[in-house]
Structure formats: C-alpha cells, structure tokens
Amino acid sequence: MGVSNGRVINIISNFNAESKKISNILTKKLNDKGFYIPGKYSTEAELNVCIGGDGAFLRAIHRNGFPSIPFVGINTGHLGFFQEILPENIDEFIEKCINEDYSIEEISLVDGEICTKNKSFYLTAVNEIVVKGNKSKVVHLEIYIDGNHLERFSGDGVIISTPVGSTAYNFSSGGSIIYPSLKSLQLTPLSPISSKAYRSLPNSAIVPGHMVISIKPELRYENSILIINDGVEFKYSNIECINLKLSNKVIKKLNFDKNMYWNNLKSKFL
C-alpha cells in the first residue's frame, strides 16, 4: 500500500467474474497510489467507480439513493453505453483521477408521481419510466402535456425517456437520440394503434424539460397498468394519473473528452 493521500474512492462491482477481477486489480493499483477503497459504500468518497455493464450502472445509482458523488464506469458488460472506460485503460484512468483531469457532466433524471385513489407514490429513473398494459393487454391512455390534451393513446404503452435513456429502450422503439445536456423528456409510443377505431401518434414527441407529461388510464384500465422504472416493474391499484417531469436531482458523471459522447455512440451502435 502506498502512502495515504487521504482520498477515498468507492468501487461498486457486479458479481460477474470479469468485473470482480477488474475490481481487485483496480483496488490494488489505487491503494498503491495512496487511495483508500472502503469495503462498504462510503458517502465520504470523491468518486464512485462502477464496474459492469449499463445494468450495473443503473443498479449502483438506484441502490445508493441517487448520490451526489460523481460516477465513472468501467465496462465489462455487453454494451456499456454508460461505461466508457475499458479495462485495458485502467492505468490511464488512474492518472487522470490523480490529476483530476476530467470535467463533470450532469445526467438528467425523470420523476414519476403515481396518483392512485388513496395515495401517491414516487419513482425516479435514469433511463426511462414505461407505462404499459399488464399481461400484454392493449391500453388506452389519455395523454396531456402541461395540462393540454394531446391524444388518446391506444397500443402497448408509452416510454418517457430521459436524454441518456434515449439510446436504450427508447431507441429500440423508434425514438430519437437526444444529447445528454438537452433538458427534455421524450414520449415514445410502443406499438401505437392507428386504425379507423383508434388513432395514436405514430412517432415520439420531444417535450421541454419544464413541462409535465400526465397520463390518465381510461377508467376500466386503472388496475391493469404496469409501470417499469429503469427495467424494474411496479404495479399499483386504482391509478388515476401518472405525472412525469424532469427531476430536480441529477447524477454527476466524469467526462474525459468533449467528443466522448459521439465517439461512444458511433463505437457502440454502428
């Protein structure tokens, strides 16, 4: 162990063997440079290093209560869109950490307020909140933007995605890619029905970050709605309205290069 430099870094790894191996190597290298790596998550740390794929990154944020400590990811996952550091570049990463040679960017989150007959429930997501039918049923939803009625949606459901979530489920469902610093939410239909019986917008709408998207399930669907928050399902009874807006909370993330987003996008998607 090197001479302590008084600096603390959390290493959060998933249970995959490769991630554990990288976690051990990184711990040893950081210890040699004088960093302290606590055994348990420390709120005193200057940095959270997350090892795994995007799923590990999302879980690390949710399980630690959307902390204000900046994150950086080392990719051992399949895609690793959030995880820009490759295991072979650990030494370069450590040098940049020592010299604080990075900028910090903010990731916008989406807040969901689920109002049921008796009580309201609150969720926050990094990628998206999905409102869809339980048991693969078609849902009929009244959709409002800032109190203005937009449409009566019929189909599988809708995705309300953040800018960083735009490359995830949103993208697979035909939504656009939104640069992370654009304060906005994207409302993307999932298999919208457009027929003589039902008419729904076929494409997504980009909504300014200060506006609220409200979704009211039609009366007989109040008990057949599924809410999916970053891939985790929630079920509520007697849903009257779901309000979605850009959160006041943000997640901080290290950025090593101003071109990082576009290079990452090209290398992960093309």
CA 187 distance to own-chain centroid: 15
Comparing CB distances to ligand NAP, the nearer of 38 and 202 is 202
Of 84 and 230, nearer to ligand NAP (C-beta) is: 230
- Of residues 32, 54, 111, 257, which has the active-site annotation? 54
Residue among 34, 174, 209, 231 that touches ligand NAP (CB under 6 A): 231
Q: Is 204 in the site for ligand NAP (CB under 6 A)?
A: no
Q: Binding ligand NAP by CB under 6 A: which of 11, 50, 70, 81?
A: 81
Contacts with ligand NAP by CB under 6 A: the residue count is 19
The residues in 144-203 that bind ligand NAP, with binding defined as CB under 6 A, are 164-165, 167-169, 172
Work out how close the CB of 125 gets to ligand NAP at its nearest, in angstroms, rounded to a whole number: 7
Residue nearest to ligand NAP as judged by C-beta position:
231
146 in active site: no
The residues that touch ligand NAP, with contacts defined as CB under 6 A, are 53-55, 58, 77-81, 127-128, 164-165, 167-169, 172, 230-231
Which residues are designated catalytic? 54
